[in-house]
Amino acid sequence: MSREYRRNPEAISRLSPEQYRVTQEAGTEPAFDNAYWDNEEPGIYVDIVSGEPLFASVNKYDSGTGWPTFTMPLEQGNVVEIRDASLGTVRTEVRSARGDSHLGHVFDDGPPETGGLRYCMNSAALRFIRRDDLEREGYGEYRPIFG
């Protein structure tokens, strides 16, 4: 990758209260009341704090949960999975590797034909970059995945 991604204190200072609560305090936004749960545009989703490329629309699907959901990360090395027993049940938290933002959780009930995983993310942790803006935003290397 051509960029060096890192936790960006300036980006953190610009987060809305909801974005801060989700990314820095491991919060969860409301289902069906968030920016990307029903976004069908082609593009990629990056960490709102570090800019790390996380997910692509080609791997997004409607899980019926009300959050943006993906079958796999765009770059496996940009996500970290951590055991989470905070709600009395064991789940797997997903965080960005370099920005250390809480993104959501991954579950093993996704579509079997794509590996069986369901990455259920919070829109508040993500910034969407449209396919046509990838070059301008510095993510041109991902343009080929959209044909």
CA dihedral for 133, 139, 141, 143, sign (positive or negative): negative
Q: Which amino acid is at 98?
A: R
Distance CA 67, CA 114 (A): 19
Per annotation, catalytic residue among 49, 103, 120, 126: 120
Radius of gyration of the chain from its Cα atoms, rounded to whole angstroms: 14
120 classed as catalytic: yes
- Sheet with 126-130: list strands edge to edge: 53-56, 43-47, 126-130
DSSP state of 85: -
User: Tokens at residue 35, please?
Assistant: 């920016």
Distance CA 49, CA 126 (A): 8
| Residues classed as catalytic | 120
